[in-house]
Chain A
Amino acid sequence: MDILNALVAILNYVIVPATAYGAQLALGALGVTLVYGILRFSNFAHGDTMAFGTAMTILFTWGFQAMGIGLGPLPTALLALPFGIAATAALILGTDRVVYAYYRKVRAAPVILVMVSVGVMFVMNGITRLLIGVDEIKFDDGARFLITAKEWKDWTGLAEPLAIRSTQALTVVVAGLVVWALFWFLAKTRSGKSMRAYSDNEDLALLSGIDPNRVVAVTWILAAALATIAGTLYGLDKSFKAFNYFQLLLPVFAAAIVGGLGSPLGAIAGGFVIAYSEVAVTYAWKKVAAYVGFESDGLLQLLSTEYKFAVSFAILIVVLLFRPTGLFKGKSV
């Protein structure tokens, strides 16, 4: 039974939270990688896009809650999500029109666009703070648990509890649906195909009559949608705080690079690689070790949780050193 308990502990403290976190990172990294593939720059404003999208979703959620509209066991935020996406997409398309379009016209170097995205980051960060403040906000409602620890214990008779929060299950389900829809879009639709063509070879795509403005607009809408969904799921799972979203930039970028910048499949793989490593390295393994017959005085924690960003960074450095194109062969080095 002890092996079973050890497995349940791993499931409860590592696999379940890391899967939810990995799904959130994967969605964020997909947005970064799409923008990189089509517009060819690293978008530093992506973390703040996630924050802005989440803030909009929260505002709509409050609106629905005030009107008494809800989804029963599901969080109201799910209903507000399309509105949040629409607002974010509108802001991003406006930003593209006012800011980025000019630099495409003059064919500015990618590093200039990175600098421009820092400016956009500042403005979006300020708008988010202005809208919703800097405090921590919890906006999950509906059922809290899919499986509670007590139910699990009564059901299995194991000493070790397993609790799955509804937000964790929801994250995985929504992320799965979104990824499926995105890949269907990229593979089957005309817009998706022109995006892939544009990403592979811009000149050839232009020659075949693909409208670059349309491709760019679709990319930004997808990036806005992915950022908002990722941000909202992260906020439901943990909580919303504008500064935490800025800090997500590093793991999100690391996930995109580990997978291979420009490769959607890689972004998903990268998200899970980062998330599992981060949680596994910062988890205190004392309890699991005890179940398999290894008593320890220490916590058996490789790194304290404050250093979780160091894990993303270490993986990033290893990938840069040994395989700069990433696991899935992204764009050029």
Chain B
Amino acid sequence: MSTRQPDAAAGGRMRAPLLFAAMAALIVLEGLTSGWNGALVILNMGLISAVIALGLNMQWGYAGLFNSGVVGFIALGGLAPVLVSMQPTEGAFAAGGWGVLIALAILAVTLAAAIWLNRRLRGKAKAAAMIAVLIAGFFLYRAVFDPAVAAIQAINPASQGYLGGLGLPVLLSWPLGAALAALAAWGVAKTALGLRSDYLAIATLGIGEIIVAVLRNEEWLDRGVLNVTGIPRPWPVPYEVDLQADPAFVQRMTDWGIDPVTGSTVLVKLLYTGLFGLVLAVILLGAQLALKSPWGRMMRAIRDNEISAAAMGKNVTGRHLQIFMLGAAVIGLGGAMMITLDGQMTPSSYNPLRYTFLILVMVVVGGSGNNWGSVLGAVLIWFVWIKAEVWGPTIMHLVTAPLPDGALRQHLQDSAPHMRVIIMGLILLLVLRFSPRGLLPEK
């Protein structure tokens, strides 16, 4: 039975440039019709989505690993700007910081001891010893952890009540975000890789929900649902108020015939665009070089036929672990960039539909395995996702126009914003069915 699927790869060399030009035209059109501020907001988030999509593309596109916990890695990356750039809370570290660190160390030692016992012992003794160590470790951890957390959260709870950060430049947090996400990826991949492919999907679903739950509930770490606001901006992005107070800037804007307020907001967003574009370019370059290297060929060989790759002496599980961590690191970097752009950390906003499954749609639509495709897919799908929120009600108004005024019409119009979820599902299903290699197919 043939496994060949309809191929939309036709279009030749000009396909990618044309599609990117079309995407740029859409953004420009948005700028001309609804203002440059709005267009740049979409573009900036689109660029961050592109970084995240590149990370997921490494996992799904290069290696065929299904990650359904992207939201968790994004959230963990987003923790980094809080830890790095916020000012430390006065007295918090002395009150409970050491306690928390010691408690976490106890937890790590407990897990390490359990793993060591697992390797050394056999049979009933193993199970009994491991359970004893884990239970003892857990109670010891709670005994140290609980008072420390209470002490931290008692400090000025209305505006602080958490450890705070290191007060360093926020740009330093981007690599930290990547490292945190890679560490979590190592933990989950170590257990779920090497088993059925579905198991990784389910294990990542779990780790994603748990990371978000931790960020929502551990107030000593990131204030939980109270949110951390006022995360400083990265170099070289200034604050709008400072620009507007700067006579030289106001003078220049008036010379150019631009309203200084609009000018300052657009300039700030343009600087972000440049910064994110630079990061995206570096990652894209690295990803392209990696994909074309012997390592990239090996990855694709493993994806296309694990058994034959293993027979050639490739360590399939080891390579999968490597690529899964690498992808998660890029996703975490994207998460840190996102929090830097927002200037605040709101753990309750991490919704799996938006931050896991929408990213999957981006990668699949762009073309699994093609880095340029992920970038295109990310910006395009993000654009559609934002605009569908506006289009949905408009379309629904037209559709329901012939209906008599009443509860049904009102209900349909009120629930129109949910249309975009259906639109995304339909896009994913249609692409998978009729153009499974996406807009820019892998070569």
Contacts and interface: CB of A to CB of B under 8 A. Distances in A.
Contacts of A127: 422
B353 A122 contact: yes
B206 A316 contact: yes
B116 interface: no
B370 interface: no
B206 A123 contact: no
B209 to A, nearest CB: 5
B429 interface: yes
B199 A118 contact: no
B147 to A, nearest CB: 10
A236 B357 CA distance: 29
A306 interface: yes
Nearest to A98: B429
The B interface is mostly helix, strand or loop, or mixed, namely helix
Nearest to B426: A123
Given A130-B419, A306-B216, A310-B213, A121 B425 contact: yes
Contact of B432 (A116, A254, A302): A116
B205 A115 contact: no
B33 interface: no
A111 interface: yes
A321 B429 contact: no
A19 B120 CA distance: 38
A94 interface: no
Nearest to B5: A106
A contacts with B: majority SS: helix
Interface stretch (B188-196, B248-256, B260-268, B333-341): B188-196
Contacts of A111: 64, 66, 197-198, 201
Contacts of A102: 433
B205 A99 contact: no
Given A126-B419, A254-B206, A324 B364 contact: no
Contacts of B197: 109-111, 114
A253 interface: yes
Contacts of B412: 130
Interface string A134-148: 100000000000000
A122 B424 contact: yes
Contacts of A106: 1-3, 5
Contacts of A42: 198, 201-202
A320 B209 CA distance: 18
B308 interface: no
A108 B209 CA distance: 29
A107 B5 CA distance: 11
A90 interface: no
A282 to B, nearest CB: 12
Given A106-B5, A310-B213, A253 B202 contact: yes
Nearest to A298: B146
A64 interface: no
Interface string B410-423: 00101100111111
Interface stretch (A170-178, A243-251, A287-295): A243-251
Most chain B CB atoms below 10 A, which of A44, A134, A254: A44
B421 to A, nearest CB: 4
A244 to B, nearest CB: 12
A241 to B, nearest CB: 14
A276 B353 CA distance: 29
A263 interface: no
A254 B198 contact: no
Given A106-B2, A118-B428, A250 B209 contact: yes
Interface in B127-158: 138, 146
A121 B198 contact: no
A126 B5 contact: no
A119 interface: yes
A115 B66 contact: yes
A3 to B, nearest CB: 24
Given A44-B68, A121-B425, A122-B357, A321 B191 contact: yes
Contact of B196 (A126, A129, A321, A332): A332
A257 B422 contact: no
A313 B207 contact: yes
Nearest to B202: A253
Contacts of B203: 313, 316-317, 320
B295 to A, nearest CB: 22
B217 interface: yes
A304 B213 CA distance: 11
A296 to B, nearest CB: 12
A257 B199 contact: yes
A247 B195 CA distance: 24
Contacts of A302: 138
A119 B423 CA distance: 10
A125 B428 CA distance: 14
Given A106-B1, A106-B3, A310-B210, A120 B425 contact: yes
Contact of A114 (B201, B418, B424): B201
B382 to A, nearest CB: 16
A309 interface: yes
Given A115-B66, A121-B357, A320 B425 contact: no
A181 interface: no
Contacts of A1: none
A120 B429 contact: yes
B352 interface: yes
A249 B421 CA distance: 18
A250 B206 contact: yes
A109 B213 CA distance: 32
Given A119-B432, A317-B191, A324-B199, A246 B352 contact: yes
A31 B98 CA distance: 48
B360 interface: yes
A49 to B, nearest CB: 13
A273 to B, nearest CB: 15
B64 A309 contact: no
A142 B365 CA distance: 49
Contacts of B436: 112
Contacts of A123: 421-422, 425-426, 429
Interface of B: 1-3, 5, 64, 66, 68, 138, 146, 191-192, 195-199, 201-203, 205-207, 209-210, 213-214, 216-217, 352-353, 357, 360-361, 364, 412, 414-415, 418-426, 428-429, 432-433, 436
6 contacts: A118-B357, A130-B422, A257-B199, A306-B216, A313-B207, A320-B195
Given A42-B198, A115-B432, A302-B138, 18 more contacts: A109-B197, A112-B436, A114-B197, A122-B425, A125-B421, A126-B418, A126-B423, A129-B421, A130-B418, A246-B353, A250-B202, A253-B202, A253-B205, A254-B206, A298-B146, A304-B217, A313-B207, A317-B206
9 A-B pairs with the lowest CB-CB distances in the bound complex, closest first: A122-B425, A126-B422, A123-B425, A126-B421, A313-B206, A119-B428, A129-B418, A119-B429, A42-B198
